[in-house]
Structures are given as structure tokens and as C-alpha cells.
A and B are shown apart, each in its own frame.
Chain A
Amino acid sequence: MDYLQLFLELAQSTVRLSTPLILAALAGLFTERAGVFDIGLEGKMLGGAFAAGCVAFVAQSAMAGLLAAVVVSVLLSLVHGYASITQRGNQIVSGVAINFIVAGSTVILGEAWFRQGGRTPALSEGARFQVIDLPFAEELRGIPLLGPIYADLISGHQALTYIAFLMVPASWWILYRTRFGLRLRAVGENPGAVDTAGISVIWMRYRAVICCGILCGIAGAYLSLAANAGWTKGMTAGKGYIALAALIFAKWRPVPVMFACLLFGFLDAFAIRYQSTPLPLIGKVPVQLMQALPYILTVILLAGFIGKAIPPKAGGVPYVKER
């Protein structure tokens, strides 16, 4: 029973830590599949988290916070879209710029508005997303094995967590089973063909970028309204880049994205839980190695040692209509 308890604890924190990664990685999936590279996931998440923290505090409502996060993140996405789609600028440079602008301005504005030293005021229970207990969680707890799994692992998360996991099949359906998804993927592989079919490449890519903004906003709101009680300086702490790594690790496909995020979330949870306890067989693993593992794995994958990660063909290339 002890082991089950241990497993559940780890699994729970894995789910908690993977939720923002899943949302951000799916956000990246939409733009990158449409041919717009985005290393600004980190900045958009942070901007969303900040907006959510501010508005949820002022309006005392989690939903208002979520809405603000989505709005801010979509606006940042549109800046990225304007630079990389309309102005045909370098998409990577634009993403880097957004990360810096957000990292700096959230701190400056947060300090000017709230004066709490790099954080928004702590949110009361009502202004945060509450843990949802699924029906019969307590009643079913008695069932061996499945009961505790249902009660402690599947039940007992905030709404945004469920949304994140539901977004995985939803994204799959949108990308692979709708006309919009087909066109979106086509725009990332062969924009010329899409253009020939009479569909606007520019508008398609803008819509993909907006989808990315919405999901990044939700990811940000999760950080400041569900995982924490408010925004703190630099709270994304590289999660946007881990999400990017997960996206590549999953070779730009929705369901593997979820598993990659769960893996990276698990590594994180494991590193936190076993910082100082020696492991059987391996001995004591330095916590720094655990922290670096997602990045190392991604590098190895990208180098083609575990399968091959082939990015969308037209990724990173601005579309120029033939004259």
C-alpha cells in the first residue's frame, strides 16, 4: 500500500506539473504546424499569467482572470504574427523579442500597480480555480487499487487541468479531422499549394497564431490562478522552452505531445521528490542532471539518435506570393 501511496503522490504532481506544458506545447503545435516557428511560448505564458493575476485580483473572479490571460496572450501572438507573417521578419528573432518584452514589462507594471516586490497580491480562494471533486470520488475510494487512483489521481484537479487533457483529443480532431486542420497543416508543408487552391495563406497562418495565443493564455492562467495564488516574477521559469522541447520530442503530433509533457513533468516531479535520496542501483543522482534531462533528451532526439524529428516543411519560412 505504501508503494501505491508513493506512486499516487508522484503521479499527482506529474499531472500538476505537466498541465501548463501540455497547454503550451499544444499552442506551439498549432503555429508550428502552420509554418510559423514560435519560441515566444514562454513570454506569452508569462504575459497571460500576469494578466490573469492582475485581473483576477481586481475583479475577484477567476474567470475574468482567465479571459484577460487569453486576451493578452492573443495580442502578443498577433505581434508575433504581424512580424513574422505580414512583415516576413525572422520568426525566431520575433519570438525572442516577445520573451524579453514580456519578462521586463510584467515586472515593471506589476511593481507600479501593486508594489509587492515582483508579485501580484495573493488571491483569495474565490479568485482562483477550485479543485473539482469528481462524482463518487469518496464513495469509490474503498475499492482496492482503482478507488484511490480515481479519488486521488483522476479526481481532485482544477478545471484547467481537465481542459488541458481534453484539448489533446480536441487538437487531434481539429488538426486531422476538420477542413480547417487540413488547411492549417497544408499551410505549414506547402503554402504554395494552399494558395493555388484559393485559400489565403496569410489568414490561415493568422488563425493558427490566434489558436496558439488562446492556449498559451490558458497555460498562463493555470500558473497564476490554479497552481499558485497569483503571479510572481519569472514564474514560467523556462516552461515555455520545455514545452517547445516536448513539442519537438513528440514530432509535432498531439497525442505524443501529451506523453512527452507527462514525461518531462514526471522528471520534474521526480527531481523535486528525490532531491537528496539515493536511488536503488544508480545511487545518488545530482538534481542538476535531473533538471537538464528533458533538454538532453530533446537534443539527442533532434540529432536523430531516437527516431527522427522532421519539422513542418515550410516552418520558419515567410510566405511570399509569386508575382
Chain B
Amino acid sequence: MSTPYAKLPGWVEYGLIPLVNLVVAFAVAGLVVLLVGESPLEAAYHMVNGAFGRGEYIGFTLYYATTFIFTGLAVAVAFHAGLFNIGGEGQAYVAGIGVALACLWLDRFMPWYVVFPVAILGASLFGAAWAFLPGWFQAKRGSHIVITTIMFNFIAASLMNYMLNRVLKPLGSMSLETRTFEAGGQLPRLDWLMSIFGLSVGTAPFNVTFLLALAASFGVWVLIWRTKLGYEMRTMGHSPSAARYAGIKEARIIVITMMISGALAGMMALNPIMGETYRMQLDFVQGAGFVGIAVALMGRSHPAGIIPAAILFGVLYQGGAEIAFEMPSISRDMIVIIQGLVILFAGALEHMFRPAITRAVLAFSGRGRTQAAAKGA
């Protein structure tokens, strides 16, 4: 991708421009709140209070953030190789099978720290497998990855509906879910981490998956910026023809990238299944795969940006519930609007304010330079 724009200092590129995009997205969301006849400021107050007001609220915020870190990383890894993986939703959904199988198999006679690694493996394997086919089709058969991954989301929904209906549901049960896991399938909460800060986690399902998410973020950073594979991925993302010329095997990179992306999306399934409900329920992903797109765009595909972006969406989810409680006319669907606006302004319209900001920054720094020059003379 060639950028016809002037090179800007890092703080503008990675700080100011995303911030301006984000502020505009929230301003438009505020307009929607006004249109409904409520006060945006009051909504913002309830949101911040609902997300940070108590230790328990913070626990919920970080619980949601954990999920979004995984899906955000999944989208980001694919972005680096120039691939757009819209299929995080389906990959996470199918990965639920991996988690559920590990738990159903081991939970009665193994402690959580044995079940957890097996479940991680299961989630990654199923997630990667669900991303393998779209990747392979793109690499070998030239079908468009975006379309294929969308289709795979729908196929995953049908598949999981079938699995929960016919295979994983206990006999005689009416609701579409697996049985509740015993102690081995329940991840410990991070009470100790919160109590360091003098906070109580309460009933919030803030669990060890959060630490896994942080480790995964570090792992992605190492992969993308410190390994040969990551270098090849980025080369392909910048210029497929240059990558081909350099002898990088395009098909191999596409398939591997998609599988890593799918595995990351898949690990998201650990959080709700083993961390909150202790069973796999129908539709447990609840759009988190799509939130990952917004998170990756906002975090500029860098783990250091993705973690704060994921926390911001955690705030939206947890604070949004509080808004819905305090101001009934603003339901949780408000989050979906904000998510869309963030995707629009931080993604599709990311360059809209760039010319103006570039001009402002250049004018500002230019004046500084002339003043310094005048002083020197």
C-alpha cells in the first residue's frame, strides 16, 4: 500500500490521528443519544461509573477486554500480512468445541491447571482449523478471503447449532448447552491481582485468561517484529510482488497467517466458557469476533495499541450495561453503533482528517523552526 501522504512524527501518527478519529466517532454517537432525547454527558458519566466505579465493575470491564484482546490480535495478525480476516466470529465459535471437549473429558479428575493447557490447545486447534480452509482457498484457489470467511461464519453458526442440538447437549436437557463443568473446568478468578490494588473482584468473572491474553499480546509482538516469519508476513502485507520477488512463499505465508489468526480468535472461547459460564452455550461469542475488527483498527494492529483499545471496548460493554440500566431508552445496542462508528472513522475514514492534521502539525513545527532559526541569527 503506498501512502500519498507526508511522513508524520510518531506521536501524531500513532497518537493524535487515532485520538481525533475516536473523538469524532464518540461525538457522532453522542448525537444519536441526543436524538433519542437523552443527555450524552449523563450517558458518559454512567458509562465511566459503570466501568470503573467499583472493583467488581473493573473486573467485568477487564473480563470483556480479555475477550477483545484475543479477537483484536487475530484480526491484527492477518492485517499485517495484508489479509482481512472477518471470520474471527466463526473461528471463536468453532473453537468452543475444543474448549468444551477438553473440559468434558478432563474436568472430573484433573485440576484446572492441567485442563487449561489442554483447553488452550483445543481452542487453538479448532480455531486454526476453521481458518485453515479460507486461507488455503485464498492461497491455492484464489478465492477472496473476506467472502470466504463471512461464509464460514454462517457455516460455523449452523454447525454449532447442530453440535449443541444433537451432539454436545446432555440427554434430556432442553436448553442448548453442554453440561456444567466440574471444578477442573473452572478457571480461578484473579482476586489476588485486584486485591493488590485494594479492590474486590466481587462476582466479576475476571479470570486467568486475562494473563494468557497479555502473554498472547507479547507473543504476537515477538512474532511480527522479531521473527523471520513475521518479517515475511509484513513484507507480503506491504507488497506482495516484492515478497514474491524476494522468494517468500506466498501460499505458505497466507495459510500460516490465517491459522495463527484463527488460533488467536479461538482462544477467546476460553474466557466465557471456562471463565464465566462453565459450560458452552449457544451463541456464546456474541459478536466479539467483529469487535476485534474495531479493536485492531483502533490499535493500529500493534499489541501496545490493541490492549488499550480492547479495554476501551470493555468499558463500552460493561459501562453500556450500566447506561442501559440507568437510562432505559439507551439499550446495549448503543455499543453496536459506537463499534460501527469506530470502524468507520478509525478504519474506512482513517485518512479523512489527515490532510488537516498534517497541515496543522507542519505549520506548527515549521513556525518553531523558523523561530529557532531567527534566534540563532
* Chain A residues near B (Cβ < 8 Å): 37, 39, 79, 83-84, 87-94, 96-105, 107-109, 111-112, 238, 241, 244-245, 248, 286, 288-289, 291-292, 295-296, 298-299, 302-304, 309, 311, 320
Contact (Cβ within 8 A) A109 B35 = yes
Contact (Cβ within 8 A) B154 A94 = no
- A94 and B348 in contact, given A245-B151, A302-B143, A303-B137 (Cβ under 8 angstroms): yes
State in angstroms the CA–CA spacing of A96 and B151 once bound together.
14
Contact (Cβ within 8 A) B155 A98 = no
Contact (Cβ within 8 A) B84 A92 = yes
> Which chain B residues in 141-193 approach chain A with CB under 8 Å?
141-144, 146-148, 150-152, 154-155, 157-159, 161-162, 165-166
- A96 and B293 in contact, given A87-B352, A89-B351, A304-B141 (Cβ under 8 angstroms): yes
State in angstroms the CA–CA spacing of A39 and B329 once bound together.
29
Contact (Cβ within 8 A) B343 A100 = yes
Closest to B162 in A: A288
Contact (Cβ within 8 A) A299 B331 = no
State in angstroms the CA–CA spacing of A19 and B36 once bound together.
33
Chain A residues with CB under 8 A of B142: 304
Chain A residues with CB under 8 A of B165: 288
State in angstroms the CA–CA spacing of A135 and B194 once bound together.
75
Dominant SS among interface residues on chain A: helix
- A108 and B36 in contact, given A292-B159, A302-B137 (Cβ under 8 angstroms): yes
Q: B250 interface residue, CB < 8 Å from A?
A: no
Q: B306 interface residue, CB < 8 Å from A?
A: no
* Chain B residues near A (Cβ < 8 Å): 4, 32, 35-37, 84, 86, 133, 137, 141-144, 146-148, 150-152, 154-155, 157-159, 161-162, 165-166, 290, 293, 297, 329-331, 333-341, 343-344, 347-352
Chain B residues with CB under 8 A of A112: 35-37, 329
Chain A residues with CB under 8 A of B297: 93
**Residue among B142, B154, B162, B329 facing the most chain A CB atoms (10 A cut-off):** B154
- A100 and B290 in contact, given A108-B32, A302-B143 (Cβ under 8 angstroms): yes
From B151, B329, B341, give the contact of A97 (CB < 8 A): B341
From B36, B144, B341, B348, give the contact of A109 (CB < 8 A): B36
B8 CB → nearest A CB, Å:
18
Chain B residues with CB under 8 A of A238: 154
Chain A residues with CB under 8 A of B133: 299
Chain B residues with CB under 8 A of A88: 351
State in angstroms the CA–CA spacing of A94 and B347 once bound together.
7
State in angstroms the CA–CA spacing of A320 and B142 once bound together.
25
Chain A residues with CB under 8 A of B330: 108
Chain A residues with CB under 8 A of B341: 97, 101
Closest to A88 in B: B351
State in angstroms the CA–CA spacing of A293 and B291 once bound together.
27
Chain A residues with CB under 8 A of B4: 320
Chain A residues with CB under 8 A of B166: 286
Contact (Cβ within 8 A) A101 B154 = no
Chain A residues with CB under 8 A of B143: 299, 302-304, 309
- A83 and B333 in contact, given A296-B155, A302-B147 (Cβ under 8 angstroms): no
Contact (Cβ within 8 A) B347 A108 = no
Chain A residues with CB under 8 A of B333: 103-105, 107-108
Task: Name 29 A/B residue pairs within 8 A (Cβ), A-sorted.
Answer: A39-B150, A87-B348, A87-B349, A89-B350, A92-B84, A92-B86, A93-B348, A96-B340, A97-B340, A97-B343, A98-B340, A100-B290, A100-B336, A101-B337, A104-B336, A105-B337, A108-B330, A109-B35, A241-B151, A248-B147, A292-B159, A295-B151, A295-B154, A299-B133, A299-B152, A302-B141, A302-B143, A302-B147, A311-B144
State in angstroms the CA–CA spacing of A273 and B123 once bound together.
36
B51 CB → nearest A CB, Å:
19
- A288 and B290 in contact, given A295-B151, A304-B141 (Cβ under 8 angstroms): no
- A289 and B348 in contact, given A92-B146, A108-B337, A109-B35 (Cβ under 8 angstroms): no
State in angstroms the CA–CA spacing of A90 and B143 once bound together.
19
Chain B residues with CB under 8 A of A101: 336-337, 340-341, 344
- A104 and B86 in contact, given A90-B347, A97-B344 (Cβ under 8 angstroms): no
Chain A residues with CB under 8 A of B339: 100, 104
Contact (Cβ within 8 A) B337 A288 = no
From B86, B144, B343, give the contact of A302 (CB < 8 A): B144
Closest to B161 in A: A288
- A89 and B347 in contact, given A100-B290, A303-B137 (Cβ under 8 angstroms): yes
State in angstroms the CA–CA spacing of A292 and B154 once bound together.
7
Contact (Cβ within 8 A) B348 A84 = yes
- A292 and B155 in contact, given A104-B334, A298-B147 (Cβ under 8 angstroms): yes
Closest to A320 in B: B4
State in angstroms the CA–CA spacing of A111 and B38 once bound together.
13
State in angstroms the CA–CA spacing of A37 and B338 once bound together.
23
Chain A residues with CB under 8 A of B150: 39, 241, 244
State in angstroms the CA–CA spacing of A241 and B133 once bound together.
19
A83 CB → nearest B CB, Å:
4
State in angstroms the CA–CA spacing of A241 and B147 once bound together.
9
- A302 and B148 in contact, given A89-B349, A111-B331 (Cβ under 8 angstroms): yes
**Residue among A83, A88, A241 facing the most chain B CB atoms (10 A cut-off):** A83
A35 CB → nearest B CB, Å:
14
From B32, B37, B351, give the contact of A87 (CB < 8 A): B351
From A90, A103, A105, give the contact of B348 (CB < 8 A): A90
Chain A residues with CB under 8 A of B331: 107-108, 111
B251 CB → nearest A CB, Å:
14
Closest to B347 in A: A93
Contact (Cβ within 8 A) A99 B340 = yes
State in angstroms the CA–CA spacing of A309 and B146 once bound together.
14
State in angstroms the CA–CA spacing of A34 and B126 once bound together.
38
Chain B residues with CB under 8 A of A99: 340
A180 CB → nearest B CB, Å:
27
- A83 and B349 in contact, given A100-B336, A105-B337, A107-B331 (Cβ under 8 angstroms): yes
A197 CB → nearest B CB, Å:
24
State in angstroms the CA–CA spacing of A103 and B331 once bound together.
12
